[in-house]
Amino acid sequence: MNHFAVLTDLDGTLLDHHNYDWHAAEPALQALVRQQIPVIAVTSKTAAEMPAILADIPYLSPLYSCENGAVLADARGAESHLEILGASMAQLIEVYGQVKQQHGFKCIAFHEVSAEQVADWTGLTPVQARAAQQRHATLPIYWPDITEAQQATFMEAAAKSGLQVLIGGRFLHLCGEADKGTAVTAIRNKLSTGVRIMALGDGGNDDAMLARADWGVRIPAATGLDRPEPVQGVSRASRPGPEGWNESVLSWLETLASPTGSGKRED
């Protein structure tokens, strides 16, 4: 089974949306280790945040993608390598400022606030929040009362500058053309030829990852507010967070172990 890999979002998927706990998924994580199937994080978190997460969750691979697919990190060898796949922070901040000023939007980006404010938004500690602000290629934007019209205007303005806006569980993410689908392709190139991928995610920023996986699972939102599924062939976990993750992965492993199991979804 070493020709399989599991790619996973973190917040709201492997990690509980409210308390960031992952232990409900430990039975499935242990089963993946026994089968030598790597678990690779594809997350909106930053490279600065990931060492603490890898230390906390020993089942995760040192190969991972952060900032919604815009950064690829590989720490499997003696030295760590960081590859930027997306737009620069300078460009993102410039475009964000122009659009915000032009339309008078009441949104707030990570670079405009203190670590304490980010901690208040996310439930992270101030130390963790500072790591979340150390970004290479994506700009999270806090905009809790955004309307559909404002979102459409913001996304259109970003597109005119060659950027895109991804909708996450807590924030909008202004970024370049790289997304989690880009990360899937980059990770495939790092792994063995013909690797088959299962991917799990809860947010709109996970759509591209789920679409490029061989088997995609949508983790339901912890808030209970789900949108219609836009990705063809994706299955849905019965529960949010690590509980749903655990159940879905164990079920998938049973499918692989069956005589006719392939791990391949039917589109």
Do the Cβ atoms of 65 and 71 come closer than 8 Å? Answer: yes
Residue 128 to residues 54, 133, 234, 266, Cα–Cα distance (Å): 14, 9, 33, 40
Q: Are 197 and 214 a contacting pair, CB within 8 Å?
A: yes
Question: What residues are labeled active site?
Answer: 9
Domain(s) of CATH 3.40.50.1000: residues in the chain = 4-84+179-257
- Domain 89-175, CATH homologous superfamily name and number: Putative mannosyl-3-phosphoglycerate phosphatase; domain 2 (3.30.980.20)
pLDDT tens digits, one per residue of 40-94: 999 989 999 999 999 999 999 999 999 999 999 999 988 889 999 999 999 999 9
Instruction: Give 94 or 257, the one with higher predicted confidence.
Output: 94
Per-residue pLDDT tens for 7-52? 999 999 999 988 999 999 999 999 999 999 999 999 989 999 999 9
Picking from 40, 33, 70, the residue whose alpha carbon sits closest to that of residue 54 is 40
3-state secondary structure 107-171: CEEHHHCCHHHHHHHHCCCHHHHHHHCCCCCEEEEECCCCCHHHHHHHHHHHHHCCCEEEECCCC
pLDDT at 262: 57
Which amino acid, one-letter code, is at 224?
Answer: G
Encoding tokens for residue 35? 């089968």
Evaluate whether the domain defined by 4-84+179-257 bears CATH number 3.40.50.1000.
yes
- Model's pTM, two decimal places? 0.85
